[in-house]
Amino acid sequence: MRLKPIAVIRTPFTQAAGTPIQPVTAAGAEGTEEGPMKTLQVLGTGCPKCRKLAENAEAAAKALGLEYELVKITDITEIMQFGVMMTPALAVDGVVKVVGKVPDAEAIKALLA
């Protein structure tokens, strides 16, 4: 089982001692929430187009200032579980957004916004 963070919270705590770890004990603590982390999944065998798609997806996420994790999925069986029959493909948080082409960073930004 793989756990995935749902948000990043910045707090004023600088040491582990005394840091609240339960929502109840964190009541009244100041900090900012930065929204959920996106998982960008590049589905492909590692060909030049797959690498370019990964590069463009990373550039788009950085340009938008998103917290993200880039995962490259190269196993054909795992790729087929997404219902993808043509690579490269891009999935965002497990939802396939692009199949069989390499959109530029601007087009990917529109998918991530």
Which positions are annotated as active-site residues? 47, 50
Count of beta carbons in the 10 Å neighbourhood of residue 56: 21
Per-residue pLDDT of the chain (113 residues; tens, 9 = 90+): 455 556 656 666 666 666 655 454 455 556 555 567 899 999 999 999 999 999 999 999 999 999 999 999 999 999 999 999 999 999 999 999 999 999 999 999 999 98
Contact in structure between 87 and 48 (CB atoms under 8 Å): no
Q: Where do the domains of the chain lie?
A: 38-112
Cα–Cα nearest to 73, from 85, 58, 91: 91
Strand 68-73 to strand 38-43: parallel, antiparallel, or no bridges (unpaired)? parallel
Superfamily of domain 38-112: Glutaredoxin (3.40.30.10)
